[in-house]
Structure 1
Amino acid sequence: MKTMKTEVLNHEDLHFEHQHWHSELAFWEDELKSFKNRLAELIKRWSSKEVLTQLEHFQNEFTLHNRVIDDLKETIEKHEMNIAGQTQSGHEAMDINLSKKHVEFREKMESQRQIYADLKKEFFRFLTKYM
């Protein structure tokens, strides 16, 4: 007979993970600012339609990614408020719904990490070619 292991998610652990995610998102925001500065430099250097089209592509991608970061931060804040509400009611462990949402969000963060890493690789290849 198999026994099933049940993982209990404590509020402290989730809060720690949220703090880590906030730091990561803040880092991405800072990086995107520096990437936009690079774009501004390149706009001054290049007049080729091909290069300007690629610059616009990256500008759009960076703007989109900033929106995603804002959405992720908002989701974290809402989740923190839900956890705080549960803590005030005297529960130390998460209820099933909040636990499930947390795990889903963790997967979303992992996916977004990959998307962002791919964007950075693409941008650095572009910079190597045109800087």
Structure 2
Amino acid sequence: MNASSKARLESVRTVGIPVTDQDRALEFYTEVLGFEKLLDTPLPQLGGRWIEVGLPRSATTVALVPAGDGHPAGVDTGIRFTTEDATALHTDLAGQDVAVDELLAWPGVPPMFDFRDPDGNTLYVSEVRSAQA
């Protein structure tokens, strides 16, 4: 097989977040964070359901997978979301009793912060200005 015929990765489709209560997680991700439920189907092999949620303008989805042995909840997911206004989102989430950390705004660096979902999974947000700004 030569270099031009090798299979290549093309994109990130779905990232999984382990949760202890899929209904509670689904409510948080849709009602608080604004995700849309895309798929919710029983999957006994996982000990629960396969739930995918997505943001309106994103091709990458988030799977809310049952936590278990080897997949504990309360982890640093490493997932970084973007927003056009980090200050407003930080204020909004804090006002909804979401566990948010300090809004960081250093010169020359986009404003950013991290927060935790109801299971304590850490997620990150950074500001990305729109193309029209």
- Shared fold by TM > 0.5? no
How high is the TM-score relative to the length of structure 2?
0.23
Comparing both structures, which one devotes a greater share of its residues to helix? 1
- Bigger relative contact order (CA 8 A; separation at least 6): 1
How high is the TM-score relative to the length of structure 1?
0.23
Q: Which has the larger radius of gyration?
A: 1
Comparing both structures, which one devotes a greater share of its residues to strand? 2
